[in-house]
Amino acid sequence: METAFNVLMVILGMGFAGGIVFSVFRFRGGREIIPSFRPPHNMD
């Protein structure tokens, strides 16, 4: 039981950290870094 709970917590933590990193990249002009997530019609 403990190992499954630890794995679940690790997965949740990784997803949370990934969301923070992605939002930071998006706020810092990450449109050039990650162009596949957003449609290119935003760049004039």
Q: What are the pLDDT digits (tens) for 1-44?
A: 789 898 988 888 888 888 887 777 766 665 555 555 555 555 55
How far apart are alpha carbons 11 and 42 in whole angstroms? 32
Helices (H) and strands (E) in the chain, counts: 1, 0
Residue whose structure tokens are 């935003």: 42
pLDDT at 19 (0 to 100): 80
Write down the pLDDT at residue 43.
53
Q: Which residue has the tokens 């997530």?
A: 37
Q: Alpha-carbon distance 22 to 32, whole Å?
A: 13
What tokens appear for 20 in the block? 């923070």
pLDDT at 41: 59
Q: At a CB cut-off of 8 Å and minimum separation 6, what does 26 contact?
A: 34
pLDDT at 33 (0 to 100): 53
